[in-house]
């Protein structure tokens, strides 16, 4: 165990014991005082009371600092772990429509790693150790009282762990289906709201959504009693324990009766904290499970064992290639790209054009047929090696929420300003960037919102140009561009083909006109049945 | 931050009646706490004197049972109130979104979806836990101090002085550290965003072979070190509170103990005071610990109230048909708050009945905003749009939209078949009419019986657009719409389909306004209105 965590746990236990000690020592002090001893006899107790009074707060302060430090460090590792898990399976799970959900869930799951330590595990350690200390002390005073107190602690802890956690789990699972459908209905309504208002047909869908909001509320309201069950149980159990202890107290030294009777009161706080901690368990466990499930997901690409080094030549030969995720989505295609070539790929929507692009940079495996780079089969090459030769700019290229400069540096860490302006110039964006008051240091905003669609696209192209690839794959490079800019971009792509092999995926006739060769990708999309679609 | 937004109290009966019940339960809890202290002290004193104590002990047990019941009841009504309030606000926000008289740009859908889901879920912590504790913290300490005052004025003085002192100190330290805390809070948000951003761009990073492990570690470590540095100061506020609380209890314990020695105080009174003293601080300490349960909920409340706070369309005049009336822009400007440049500026334009007009201009020139103005979604900030001489702002928006077929950039889809979705334009249309509309929208490959939905994502952007075009054709042909508004309808369509769509649109005998980038679309129009771009102003 990490030293800071150990110190934090020790301080946490000390804080808890101080709090218990403050009440019990005070009780002893007052009851002993009632025997009218010389004040000198009380001095130790008086000092102890004051020590516990100061100690509790100070220990707690130290504990919080140390354990927060440990939790933050654990979160860093958890973040790295989640990143690696996703990196392994990307682009799986990164389809445009799912990406937002997946990411926000993972960000939340990673944050719950902090709760796991601070709000679930530590309360247990503090409560159990400090109760054990009190019970041990009691066994010297009167073994029977120690047994009663131990039973009290076990019952309360057991109730928290087995009853409270299960109650919350069952409320959660009963609600989760309705919660999911409410959320789905609500988001459909939100996404379609403008269309519904425009067509004046919102009433039906609104009623359906309202019903699902109500249905969720009914179930959640019926589970409301669970919220306070754990803490209430501890109070009631303490009442019973006090009655039991009072029956044992008759044979005890009078000076100790205060300590014995007040012990359950002193333990209320740590035992209630267990019930509070267990409320969170179902959520924390679910987060953990989701991350573990990512770890079990198969990667979309099998990297070769003992991969071949990259060959000297970068000629790409594609023969009878069939692409697809789980099943083939397109008919076989064959083509060859060498430096100086521009090959166009076209096909109707859904024919697998973007899937082809991802296959050519080995982000996903081909279904059948072969791809060779410089005569070496793709299967024998590592994907990360292939991607140093073949670059791609896709339809949903992400622009990072930082400056233009940092976005470009992703392609080349060491790029100078003039390299960057060179690439921007070839993507038709240099003038725009130079016109900005902060130039390359202009932030692009969340999702690149400060840029227009065309500017985002050209930034993506500039980024690709800055990396030192020999083959370039452009997936719909002119999609959001006005005709003049589109023509300019295509001219630049033609220029690029002097030093590169280029593949242009597009359905724009203007774009395809400049290609030496056009490959037609015929989709064979299976029509989705309603029950498949709903899955 | 206020513990409870007064706007919420004003508008929600649930909140008001819950608060009233909460105060009653809080008072009862305070009484039980005081009784419990007296009874325990009595039981101990009896045992000490060797008197029979079973009855007293049973009374203590019953009292703790009553306290358990009260706490349970309080938490149950609070959790229920949270559920009720959640569903009330969810419904209000949803109703508002489909309110035909809502004015203003649509808020970002991702934001509303988050608010409707996890945003309002935070009420479990806020209304379910934080508010009841706030009620207890404002009732119990006062009553406990009063009870101590009856038994022992000196102890009451110690508690009565230290309690406000600790709160003042806590607030002072809190104020001093608030900036630090806010900075850390936003740093944490930024860290989350950075992480989300890295994950979002993971495919790009993978394509460029940029491993982010080291970067994530470095950013996380830096954040950890800085956070711990601020927490050292931030945690001082609870240190002060706890220190004052426990030291006062220790002070009270020693002072009553010494008076018991001298027989100036009875054992029972001393124990009562000892048991009451910590109860005066406990609710406030718990409240401090629950603070982070409250922040997300309070944020959701203010976000919801902000969302619901907007202008409403007030027009009631019947809409004139556009087969006769001109559509005129008079010095129209649209400005959105927080942007220095107007989103749209049109000095004078008239669109005549039956015209096919293309709206062109660079990105950001306000092309989509112009359609929003025509749809009466967004009111002009200055100037006006008139229809046959009537100000659009005076026309009933529902009647007006009844005359319009609308194809936005990203059309919405409802769960159902392709046919259901096309029929959104006119629920009374026949299947044959739907099939014809699909065909003329270049969507004959889409089977009308195919199931589509927003959540299953089985539909591409191009298919979505063609369905929306089919809606528009159906609305004009069968529901009497005489104005068609389209926002880049042929983006993402191949040449053949684009031709089909443009031919179908040309053949409509009504006014067509189309926002267009593509030369083919612009060429198909009678004329083009060119909007002038705003300048990009980096923030």
Which of A190, A224, A220, A217 has its CA nearest to residue A205? A190
A79: nearest CB among B63, B220, B227: B220
ipTM of the complex: 0.87
- Cβ–Cβ gap B75/A240 under 8 Å: no
Quickly count helices (H) and strands (E) in chain B: 20, 11
- For chain A, the average pLDDT equals 88
pLDDT tops 70 at residue B359: yes
Query: Between these two residues, A24 and B109, which has the higher pLDDT value?
Result: A24
CA-CA distance, A270 to A128, in Å (whole number)? 8
CA-CA distance, B173 to B517, in Å (whole number)? 58
Residues of A in contact with B239 (CB under 8 A): 57-58, 60-61
Nearest chain B residue to A60, by CA: B239
Number of neighbouring beta carbons within 10 Å of residue B10 = 9
pLDDT band at A531 (very low <50, low <70, confident <90, very high): very low
Residues of B in contact with A392 (CB under 8 A): 207
Nearest chain A residue to B374, by CA: A198
- Cβ–Cβ gap A225/B76 under 8 Å: yes
Residue B43 contacts A, CB cutoff 8 Å: yes
pLDDT band at A526 (very low <50, low <70, confident <90, very high): very low
> For B275-331, how does the pLDDT look when each residue is reduced to its tens digit (9 = 90+)?
999 999 999 988 887 877 787 888 889 889 988 988 899 999 998 888 888 999 999
Strand A376-377 relative to strand A368-373: parallel, antiparallel, unpaired? antiparallel
- The radius of gyration of chain A's CA atoms, rounded to the nearest angstrom, is 34
pLDDT at B457: 54
Task: Compute, in degrees rounded to 10, the torsion defined by CA atoms A369, A371, A376, A380.
Answer: -70
pLDDT at A205: 87
CA-CA distance, A26 to A23, in Å (whole number)? 5
> How much of chain B exceeds pLDDT 90, in percent?
56
Cα dist from B412 to B115, B420, B516, whole Å: 20, 13, 20
Which of B171, B166, B167, B155 has its CA nearest to residue B249? B155
pLDDT at A394: 77
CA-CA distance, B55 to A202, in Å (whole number)? 66
Query: Between these two residues, B468 and A483, which has the higher pLDDT value?
Result: B468
Please give the full DSSP string across A384-435, using - where no structure is assigned.
Answer: HHHHHHEEEE-TTPPPPSSBHHHHHHTT-TT--HHHHHHHHHHTT-HHHHHH
pLDDT band at B33 (very low <50, low <70, confident <90, very high): very high
Output the pTM of the full model: 0.85
> For B382-430, how does the pLDDT look when each residue is reduced to its tens digit (9 = 90+)?
999 999 989 999 999 999 999 999 999 888 888 889 999 999 999 999 9
- The mean pLDDT of B86-113, rounded to a whole number, is 89
pLDDT tops 90 at residue A60: yes
Cα dist from A254 to A43, A260, B186, whole Å: 19, 10, 57
A33: nearest CB among B60, B228, B260: B260
pLDDT at A528: 34
- Cβ–Cβ gap B224/A69 under 8 Å: yes
Residue A521 contacts B, CB cutoff 8 Å: no
A242: nearest CB among B57, B224, B417: B57
pLDDT at A29: 95
Which of A96, A205, A197, A95 has its CA nearest to residue B408? A197
For chain B, positions 252-311, list CB contacts with chain A under 8 A. 253-254, 256-258, 260-261, 263, 267, 270-271, 274-275, 278
pLDDT band at B539 (very low <50, low <70, confident <90, very high): very low
For chain A, positions 279-318, list CB contacts with chain B under 8 A. none
Which of A146, A533, A260 has its CA nearest to residue B413? A533
- For chain B, the average pLDDT equals 89
Q: Are B290 and B151 in contact (CB under 8 A)?
A: no
pLDDT tops 60 at residue B456: no
pLDDT at B533: 60
> For B478-530, how does the pLDDT look when each residue is reduced to its tens digit (9 = 90+)?
998 999 999 988 876 777 888 999 999 999 999 999 998 888 889 999 999 99
Question: Nearest CA of chain B to the CA of A193: how many Å?
Answer: 6
- Cβ–Cβ gap B250/A397 under 8 Å: no
pLDDT band at B20 (very low <50, low <70, confident <90, very high): very high
CA-CA distance, A303 to A301, in Å (whole number)? 6
Residues of B in contact with A479 (CB under 8 A): 491-492
Look at phi and psi of residue A255 and say left if phi exceeds 0, alpha if psi is from -120 to 50, else beta: alpha
> How much of chain A exceeds pLDDT 70, in percent?
94
pLDDT tops 60 at residue A529: no
Task: Compute, in degrees rounded to 10, the torsion defined by CA atoms A278, A279, A282, A284.
Answer: -80
CA-CA distance, B531 to B365, in Å (whole number)? 6
pLDDT at A124: 97
3-state secondary structure of A438: coil
pLDDT band at B248 (very low <50, low <70, confident <90, very high): very high
A94: nearest CB among B84, B99, B202: B202
A118-132, A203-217, A321-335, B380-394: segment of lowest average pLDDT: A321-335
pLDDT tops 60 at residue B537: no
Nearest chain A residue to B63, by CA: A239
Residues of A in contact with B420 (CB under 8 A): none
> How much of chain B exceeds pLDDT 70, in percent?
96
pLDDT tops 80 at residue A320: yes
pLDDT at A262: 95
> For A136-193, how does the pLDDT look when each residue is reduced to its tens digit (9 = 90+)?
999 998 899 999 999 999 999 999 999 999 999 999 898 888 988 898 888 888 888 9
> For A24-35, how does the pLDDT look when each residue is reduced to its tens digit (9 = 90+)?
999 999 999 999
Terminal CA-CA length for chain B:
28
Residue with tokens 């392994």: A88
pLDDT at B249: 93
* Best mutation target, B204, B453, B494, to test chain A (most A CBs within 10 A): B204
A68: nearest CB among B199, B231, B375: B231
A107: nearest CB among B106, B195, B404: B195
Nearest chain B residue to A198, by CA: B401
Helices (H), B201-311: 202-207, 213-234, 236-261, 267-289, 291-308
Residue B533 contacts A, CB cutoff 8 Å: no
For chain B, positions 148-167, list CB contacts with chain A under 8 A. none
pLDDT tops 70 at residue A362: yes
- Cβ–Cβ gap A76/B80 under 8 Å: no
- The mean pLDDT of A290-308, rounded to a whole number, is 86
Question: Nearest CA of chain B to the CA of A335: how many Å?
Answer: 22
pLDDT at A98: 65
CA-CA distance, A246 to B56, in Å (whole number)? 9
Q: Are B412 and A195 in contact (CB under 8 A)?
A: yes
- Cβ–Cβ gap B224/A36 under 8 Å: no
CA-CA distance, A364 to A356, in Å (whole number)? 9
Which of B453, B252, B65 has its CA nearest to residue A264? B65
Residue with tokens 């929208």: B441
- Cβ–Cβ gap A87/B216 under 8 Å: no
- Cβ–Cβ gap A220/B83 under 8 Å: yes
Cα dist from A17 to A45, A130, A450, B448, whole Å: 15, 6, 56, 71
CA-CA distance, B472 to B505, in Å (whole number)? 9
CA-CA distance, A58 to B336, in Å (whole number)? 52
* Best mutation target, A17, A69, A126, A191, to test chain B (most B CBs within 10 A): A191
Q: Half-sphere exposure of residue A214, counting CA atoms within 13 Å on the CB side?
A: 6
- Cβ–Cβ gap B494/A349 under 8 Å: yes
pLDDT at A483: 67
Question: Nearest CA of chain A to the CA of B432: how many Å?
Answer: 20
Nearest chain B residue to A239, by CA: B61
């Amino acid at each position: 165990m990490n030293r800071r965590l150990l110190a934090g746990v020790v301080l946490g236990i000390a804080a808890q014991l101080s709090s218990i000690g403050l009440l019990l020592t005070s009780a002893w002090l007052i009851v002993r005082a009632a025997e009218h001893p010389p004040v000198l006899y009380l001095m130790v107790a008086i000092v102890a009371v004051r020590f516990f009074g100061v100690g509790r707060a100070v220990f707690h302060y130290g504990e919080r600092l140390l354990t927060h430090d440990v939790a933050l460090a654990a979160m860093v590792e958890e973040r790295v772990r989640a990143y690696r898990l996703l990196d392994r399976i990307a682009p799986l799970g990164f389809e445009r429509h799912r990406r937002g959900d997946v990411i926000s869930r993972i960000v939340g799951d990673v944050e719950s790693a902090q709760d796991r330590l601070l709000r679930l595990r530590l309360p247990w350690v503090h409560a159990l150790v400090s109760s054990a200390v009190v019970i041990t002390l009691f066994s010297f005073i009167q073994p029977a009282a120690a047994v009663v107190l131990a039973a009290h602690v076990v019952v309360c802890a057991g109730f928290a762990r087995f009853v409270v956690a299960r109650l919350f789990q069952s409320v959660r699972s009963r609600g989760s289906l309705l919660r999911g459908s409410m959320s789905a209905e609500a988001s459909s309504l939100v996404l379609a709201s403008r269309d519904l208002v425009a067509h004046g047909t919102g009433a039906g869908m609104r009623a359906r959504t309202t019903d699902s909001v109500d249905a969720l509320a009914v179930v959640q309201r019926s589970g409301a009693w669970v919220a306070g069950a754990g803490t209430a149980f501890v109070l009631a159990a303490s009442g019973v324990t006090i009655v039991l202890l009072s029956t044992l107290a008759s044979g005890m030294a009078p000076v100790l009766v205060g300590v014995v009777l007040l012990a359950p009161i002193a333990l209320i706080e740590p035992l209630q904290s267990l019930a509070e901690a267990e409320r969170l368990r179902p959520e924390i466990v679910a987060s953990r499970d989701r991350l573990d499930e990512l770890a079990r997901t198969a990667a979309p690409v099998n990297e070769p064992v003992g991969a071949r080094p990259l060959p000297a030549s970068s000629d790409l030969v594609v023969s009878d290639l069939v692409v697809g995720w789980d099943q083939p989505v397109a008919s076989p295609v064959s083509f060859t790209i060498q430096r100086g070539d521009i090959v166009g790929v076209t096909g109707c929507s859904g024919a697998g054009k973007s899937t082809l692009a991802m296959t050519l940079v080995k982000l996903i495996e081909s279904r059948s047929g072969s791809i060779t780079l410089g005569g070496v089969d793709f299967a024998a090459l590592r994907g990360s090696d292939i991607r140093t030769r073949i670059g791609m700019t896709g339809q949903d290229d992400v622009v990072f929420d930082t400056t233009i400069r940092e976005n470009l540096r992703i392609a080349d860490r060491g790029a100078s300003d003039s390299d960057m302006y060179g690439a921007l110039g070839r993507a038709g964006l240099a003038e725009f960037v130079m016109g900005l008051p902060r130039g390359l240091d202009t932030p692009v905003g969340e999702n690149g919102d400060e840029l227009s669609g065309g500017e985002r696209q050209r930034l993506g192209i500039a980024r690709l140009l800055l990396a030192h690839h020999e083959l370039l794959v452009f997936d719909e490079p002119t999609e959001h561009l006005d005709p003049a800019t589109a023509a300019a971009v295509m001219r630049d792509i033609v220029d690029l083909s002097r030093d590169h092999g280029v593949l242009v995926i597009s359905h724009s006739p203007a774009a395809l006109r400049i290609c030496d060769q056009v490959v037609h990708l015929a989709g064979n999309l299976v029509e989705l049945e309603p029950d498949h679609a709903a899955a | 931050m206020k513990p409870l937004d007064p706007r919420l109290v004003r508008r929600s009966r649930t909140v008001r009646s819950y608060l009233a019940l909460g105060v009653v339960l809080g008072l009862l809890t305070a009484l039980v706490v005081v009784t419990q202290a007296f009874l325990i002290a009595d039981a101990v004193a009896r045992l000490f004197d060797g008197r029979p104590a079973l009855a007293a002990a049973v009374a203590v047990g019953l009292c703790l049972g009553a306290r358990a019941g009260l706490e349970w009841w309080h938490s149950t009504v609070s959790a229920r109130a949270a559920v009720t309030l959640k569903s009330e606000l969810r419904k209000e926000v949803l109703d508002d979104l489909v309110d035909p008289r809502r004015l203003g740009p649509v808020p970002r859908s991702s934001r509303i979806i988050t608010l409707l889901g996890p945003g309002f879920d935070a009420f479990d912590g806020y209304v379910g836990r934080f508010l009841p504790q706030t009620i207890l913290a404002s009732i119990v300490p006062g009553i406990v101090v009063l009870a101590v005052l009856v038994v022992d004025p000196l102890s009451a003085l110690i508690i009565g002085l230290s309690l406000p002192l600790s709160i003042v100190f806590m607030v002072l330290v809190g104020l001093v550290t608030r900036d630090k805390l806010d900075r850390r809070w936003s740093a944490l948000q930024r860290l989350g965003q950075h992480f989300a951003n890295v994950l979002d761009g993971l495919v790009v990073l993978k394509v460029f072979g940029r491993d982010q492990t080291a970067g994530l570690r470095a950013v996380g470590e830096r954040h950890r070190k800085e956070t711990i540095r601020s927490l050292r100061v931030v945690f001082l506020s609870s240190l002060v509170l706890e220190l004052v609380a426990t030291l006062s209890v220790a002070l009270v314990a020693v002072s009553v103990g010494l008076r018991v020695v001298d027989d100036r105080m009875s054992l029972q009174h001393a124990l009562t005071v000892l048991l009451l003293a910590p109860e005066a601080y406990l609710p406030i300490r718990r409240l401090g610990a629950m603070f982070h349960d409250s922040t997300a909920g309070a944020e959701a409340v203010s976000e919801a109230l902000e969302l619901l706070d907007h202008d409403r369309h007030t027009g009631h005049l019947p809409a004139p048909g556009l087969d006769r009336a001109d559509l005129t822009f008079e010095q129209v400007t649209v400005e959105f708050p927080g942007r220095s440049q107007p989103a749209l500026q049109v000095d004078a334009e008239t669109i005549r009945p039956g015209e096919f007009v293309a709206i062109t201009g660079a990105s950001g020139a306000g092309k989509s905003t112009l359609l929003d103005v025509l749809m009466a979604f967004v009111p002009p900030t200055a100037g006006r749009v008139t229809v046959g001489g009537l100000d659009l702002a005076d026309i009933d928006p529902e009647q007006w939209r009844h005359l319009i077929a609308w194809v936005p950039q990203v059309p919405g889809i409802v769960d159902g078949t392709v046919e259901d979705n096309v029929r959104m334009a006119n629920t009374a249309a026949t299947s044959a009419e739907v099939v014809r509309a699909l065909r003329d929208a270049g969507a004959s490959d889409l089977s009308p019986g195919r199931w589509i939905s927003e959540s299953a994502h089985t539909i591409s952007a191009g298919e979505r657009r063609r369905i929306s075009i089919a809606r528009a054709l159906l609305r004009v042909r069968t529901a009497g719409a005489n104005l068609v508004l389209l926002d880049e309808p042929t983006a993402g369509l191949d040449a053949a389909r684009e031709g089909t769509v443009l031919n179908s649109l040309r053949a409509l005998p009504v006014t067509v306004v189309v926002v267009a980038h593509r030369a083919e679309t612009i060429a198909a129009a009678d004329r083009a209105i060119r909007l002038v771009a705003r300048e990009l102003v980096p923030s």
